[in-house]
């Protein structure tokens, strides 16, 4: 198995990213890989924003993982910047290979390089395996999150 490279996503990666997002119990109900129309403007907005980094993990020319990093400057914590990790996905054939851990270590390193004081993420309550994974990496379930669908 060849080494994985983590890099900034390009427009050409969008279909593979959407396929990863759709390839689980929750994503299957909210993504539409058969209609890429809504994803193109979203990609352009992410790509143009210096506080966003849409990453892909690539092995042998194929996208096998993805995540989005958002850098949030704020006044709390003495004016610190936080790194928000979103939409972490690893292709099913890559689960258990250490790719998820590598992606998270890379994301934490990126946050340190940007001077962030905190790395945070949310995970759907239905994702018990993901919760165990994040806890093994040292994350703590310190907050209760709320969402309002618009």
pLDDT at 9: 98
E-strand ranges in 50-80 read: 52-59, 62-73
pLDDT band of residue 2 (cuts 50, 70, 90) is confident
- CATH superfamily of the domain spanning 5-136: Gcn5-related N-acetyltransferase (GNAT) (3.40.630.30)
Which tens digits make up the pLDDT trace of 12-29? 999 999 999 999 878 888
Nearest residue to 6 via CA among 101, 93, 129, 136: 101
pLDDT in tens, 93-146: 998 899 999 999 999 999 999 999 999 998 888 888 888 888 898 999 888 888
pTM over 0.85: yes
* Res. 1: pLDDT tops 80: no
Quote the percentage of the chain above a pLDDT of 70: 99
Q: Domain segments of the chain: what residues?
A: 5-136
Q: What is the largest CA-CA distance in the chain?
A: 45
């Amino acid at each position: 198995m060849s080494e994985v490279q983590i890099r900034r996503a390009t427009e050409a990666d969008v279909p593979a990213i959407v396929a990863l997002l759709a390839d689980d119990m929750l994503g299957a109900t909210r993504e539409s890989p058969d209609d890429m129309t809504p994803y193109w403007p979203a990609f352009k907005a992410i790509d143009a924003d210096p506080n966003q980094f849409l990453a892909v993990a690539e092995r042998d020319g194929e996208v096998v993982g993805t995540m989005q990093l958002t850098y949030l400057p704020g006044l709390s914590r003495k004016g610190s910047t936080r790194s928000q990790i979103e939409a972490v996905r690893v292709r099913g054939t890559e689960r258990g290979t250490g790719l998820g851990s590598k992606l998270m270590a890379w994301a934490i390193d990126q946050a340190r390089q940007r001077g962030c004081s905190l790395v945070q993420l949310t995970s759907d309550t239905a994702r018990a395996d993901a919760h165990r994974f994040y806890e093994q990496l040292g994350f703590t379930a310190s907050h209760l999150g709320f969402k309002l669908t618009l």
